[in-house]
Amino acid sequence: MEKHLKIKRLDDILINKIAAGEVVERPSSVIKELIENSIDAGADSVTIEVEGGGDVLIRVTDNGSGMSEEDLKAAFERHATSKISNIEDLENITTLGFRGEALPSIASVSELEIYSKEGNSVNGYFLKMKDGREESGHPRGGPGGTVVTVRNLFSGIPARKKFLKSPHAEYLDILDTVHSIALLRPEISFRLIHDGRTAMNLHSQKLEERYTSIFPDVSSDGMFPVDLDRNGLKVKGFAVSAKFPRKNRKRVFISVNGRFLRDNLLIFFFSAPYEGLLVKGEHPQGVLRIEAPPSFVDVNVHPRKTEVKFLSPDTLKNTIFFAVREALKGAELPHAPAIPADAGPFQPLSTARGYEQKNFFEGGVPDPATGEEHARIMLFGEKYVLSGVFSGIYAVLIGTKDVLFIDVHAADERVLYEKLSKLSESSIAVNQPLMFPLRLLTALSEEDRQTLLKLGFSFDESGERLTGIPGWFSDRYSQSETERMMEDIKSAAGGIKDRIKSIACKSAVKSGEQLNMRLVKQILNELGSCSDPERCPHGRPVLFRITSSDLERSVKRKI
């Protein structure tokens, strides 16, 4: 017969150890809690000392308001706090935490020492804890503020300690944690010392300066300010230009009411406006500081408060999306890939298919303002001369200020995408009847067929024969090309936008084809009137620009 176990009341030490499993996941969790306590105490200077991966030693020193002996001892009593006195306060939390929440949990899994002194007191008070119990305590002189020292984290809990990563990996996680808090509180000075060496020393500064101090690979001219007051929410910070892409989401820093959050939903809202600016696998970076009414945010849905719950997620989504989208208007072009070292020969315009032989290339390329009419291109408000094609796909345009290498496929893709998007939104579709209707080998869904009808294609009643094509497709039409496009639209996932992207990509001129230079000139002229002429619909850069300054730096020559 199964024996029934009696229900036992757990003692406070064991309760705190269980709570520590929720709050204190690893050394970086300890540092996060202690720094947030310092910020709540009004500190404007915080020093973090770490040995090893933080399991050996963590010390956080601040110049905040400090605590009296009475408050210091009360801070280690479970559920003791100065921040909450009734149930209504839970709906109006404006602080990052409360010492009575984290300190008992940390003390239960480490050897903890704490010194604290209120500003007007003659002496401070020192308290030593081990495994959650007070070992000793006495008054001590010293500066105002608080110093918390944590040694031998998880030493009494081998099962927890074995799950820690290498000291180096744990330190990197600590560094990420300190960076995230320092970014969201740039007015506070932060110093990080690792194994006796100063790894970071940040003085009070503006947010953009703080970011470039921590991440010097980003330039200030690639940061676009965000400043929006809408729907009761205030959003400030900046979005970084797409020319500084990342391979992960770790450089998206978002806070709500001063609390740093690693919330995937918020990161998604931040990233959404970058669609079409970044290629697959690339992620943006930036900082948003959101101020919301306390009742709008529930910070108690996650033990470590790295995620929160919002009263109206849609309101937040729309506000963040709009704020970032507005900031990105006029964003700079991401760095284009370099031309391959084994690129093929240059094809001058005078020998290209679609143009008769011209002699104006003799004696040099003509001035863009006076060059032959058929070779002139207007792009970005500047005049260029189309001089030829490099490596079979890169149009070479020479201007008075720079030389452009334009990926004709990407440019054609952008032109087609915008043209087809407008066609899909209009009720008029003009097509050219085919003398001999084309029997389709690909069976299309009704949704795919309706998309193609909007774009100017026509079919017989059975839907199995193509009877007409749009004007934009006439120069590209062939049976094999049409079948390939039909197959691609059939397999395209998503809505009409995704289908149009697929059609534009598959219909655009391709590397390896013999380019019709009249079509190239038409593409380039139409590119200039596109809403986003520097990126294809998938976010790839369309062009690579070389200025005289670039050349001077490369060849170490000053003109």
297-298 vs 133-140, strand pairing mode: unpaired
At residue 557 the predicted structure's pLDDT band, cuts being 50, 70 and 90, is: low
The rounded percent of the chain whose pLDDT value lies above 90 is 31
Q: 214: pLDDT confidence band, cut at 50, 70 and 90?
A: very high
Domain ranges of the chain: 12-202, 207-328, 349-559
- Rounded to an integer, what distance in angstroms lies between the CA atom of residue 108 and that of residue 150? 11
Q: How confident is the model at residue 375, as a pLDDT?
A: 73
Residue 472 burial by Cβ neighbours in a 10 Å radius (0-12, 13-18, 19+): middle
Alpha-carbon distance of 510 to 484, in angstroms, equals: 14
Tallying the residues shown for the chain, one arrives at 559
Percent of the chain exceeding pLDDT 70 equals: 75
In terms of pLDDT, which residue wins out, 255 or 341? 255
- Return the number of other C-beta atoms located less than 10 Å from residue 80's C-beta: 16
What pLDDT, on a 0 to 100 scale, did the predictor assign at position 373?
52
Cβ distance 110 to 150 under 8 Å?
A: yes
- The whole-number pLDDT of residue 125 equals 96
pLDDT of residue 54: 96
Contact 353, 516 (CB under 8 A): yes
**Cα distance between residue 442 and residue 463, in whole Å:** 11
pLDDT, position 95: 53
Q: State both tokens at 518.
A: 């009249």
For range 121-128, the mean pLDDT:
94
Our CA angle for 506, 383, 413, nearest 5°, is 10
Could you give the CA distance from residue 245 to residue 540 in angstroms, rounded to a whole number?
12
Separation of alpha carbons 262 and 266, rounded Å: 8
Residue whose C-alpha is closest to residue 469's, from 484, 485, 459, 457: 457
The lowest-confidence range among 202-216, 293-307, 316-330 is 293-307
Q: For residue 408, give Cα distances in angstroms to 133, 255, 411.
A: 72, 42, 5
* 99 pLDDT higher than 70: no
**Averaged over 169-192, what is the pLDDT?**
95
Q: Do 12-202 and 349-559 come out as alike in CATH topology?
A: no
pLDDT band with cut points at 50, 70 and 90 for residue 86: very low
The whole-number average pLDDT for the span 316-325 is 85
CA distance 200 to 193: 7
What's the pLDDT band for 53 if we cut at 50, 70, 90?
A: very high
- Give me the numbers of helices (H) and strands (E) for the chain, helices first please: 16, 24
Per-residue model confidence (pLDDT) at position 175:
95
Tell which wins on pLDDT, 558 or 427.
Answer: 558
Give pTM, 2 decimals: 0.60
**pLDDT at residue number 11:** 55
In this prediction, residue 3 has a pLDDT band, given cuts at 50, 70 and 90, of low
- Which pLDDT score, from 0 to 100, does residue 301 have? 46
The residue that leads in pLDDT, 392 or 49, is: 49
Strand order in the sheet with 189-194: 133-140, 124-130, 111-117, 145-151, 57-62, 45-51, 189-194, 197-202
User: Quick one: pLDDT band at residue 176, thresholds 50, 70, 90?
Assistant: very high
- Residues 13-25 have pLDDT tens digits of 555 544 444 568 8
pLDDT at 188 over 60: yes
Better-scored residue on pLDDT, 302 or 395: 395
Q: Name 389's bridge partners.
A: 347, 395
Q: What number of other Cβ atoms are within 10 A of residue 313's Cβ?
A: 12
What are the beta bridge partners of residue 541? Answer: 535
- The yes-or-no verdict on residue 209 having pLDDT over 90 is yes
Pairing of strands 465-470, 458-459: antiparallel
Kindly report, residue by residue over 135-147, the tens digit of the pLDDT.
999 999 999 999 9
Q: CATH: 3.30.200.20, 3.90.79.10, 3.30.565.10, 3.40.50.1980. Which one for 12-202?
A: 3.30.565.10
Task: Compute the CA torsion angle 342, 344, 349, 350 (nearest 10 deg).
Answer: 130
| Separation of CA 425 from chain center | 31
**325 half-sphere exposure, CB direction, 13 A CA radius:** 11
Alpha-carbon span 167 to 231, nearest angstrom: 45
Q: What is the pLDDT of residues 342-390, one digit of tens each?
A: 444 555 554 444 443 333 353 344 455 444 555 788 888 888 888 888 8
What is residue 296's predicted lDDT score, i.e. its pLDDT? 79
Q: Does domain 207-328 have CATH number 3.30.230.10?
A: yes
Q: What is the pLDDT of residue 101?
A: 62
Please tell me the predicted confidence (pLDDT) of residue 237: 96
What amino acid occupies position 416?
Answer: L
* Side-chain-facing half-sphere of 484: CA atoms under 13 Å: 11
Average pLDDT score over the chain: 79
CA 279-283-285 angle, 5° bins: 135
Distance CA 46, CA 192 (A): 9
Nearest to 537 by CA among 559, 505, 515: 505
Q: Residue 314: is its pLDDT beyond 60?
A: yes
Per-residue model confidence (pLDDT) at position 164: 92
- Residue pair 367/382 in contact (Cβ under 8 Å)? The answer is no
**Which fold, 349-559?**
formyl-coa transferase, domain 3 (3.30.1540)
- Distance separating the N- and C-terminal Cα atoms of the chain: 96
Q: Which pLDDT tens digit goes with each residue over 448-491?
A: 788 788 777 888 888 788 888 876 676 666 666 677 777 767 66
